[in-house]
Amino acid sequence: MKKVNKSPEQWRQELDPETYRITREAGTEAPFSGEYYDCKQQGSYACVCCGEVLFFSDAKYDSGCGWPSFFQPASAAVIDEHTDTSHFMVRTEVRCHNCDAHLGHVFTDGPAPTGLRYCINSASLTLKPES
């Protein structure tokens, strides 16, 4: 997929205010409030901004944290990781490699086989159901 490079104004025109706040300003939705935190439907989860497939439902699990959680991305190439020192914490932020949308964070308290928990905002995703 070709890298997406849009101005903040272009993103504001395309996204609703909450999606813009989360994906373009590194916001976070309230726990247990997002569309996909408890979703069991099979399919692929794509970036809401550019459509890049980021996660598959077979890697999704209930971590109890209130956000959709995955133990691995669709591939290492679709996710970029950055150190996030906001809110007096040190965390690893995850962003869409294709369009730089903020997705959430990754933690090392996940299940086997990876031991990772990708804690992702529902507002950053769109589900493409299996057909």
- The separation between CA 131 and the C-alpha centre of its own chain, rounded to angstroms, equals 22
Query: Residue 47 annotated as binding?
Result: yes
Q: Which residues of the chain have pLDDT under 70?
A: 1-2
Residues 16-29 pLDDT 10s = 999 999 999 999 99
Q: Is position 49 annotated in a ligand binding site?
A: no
- Find out whether 50 is annotated in a ligand binding site: yes
The phi, psi pair for 30, rounded to 5°, reads: -65, 145
Say what the pLDDT of residue 121 is.
98
Give the model's pLDDT for residue 21: 98
Q: Which residues are catalytic, by number? A: 119
Residue 65 marked ligand-binding? no
Q: Name the architecture of domain 8-129.
A: Beta Complex (2.170)
| pLDDT for the residue 1 | 65
Contact 27/21 with Cβ under 8 angstroms?
yes
Beta bridge partners of 44: 56, 128
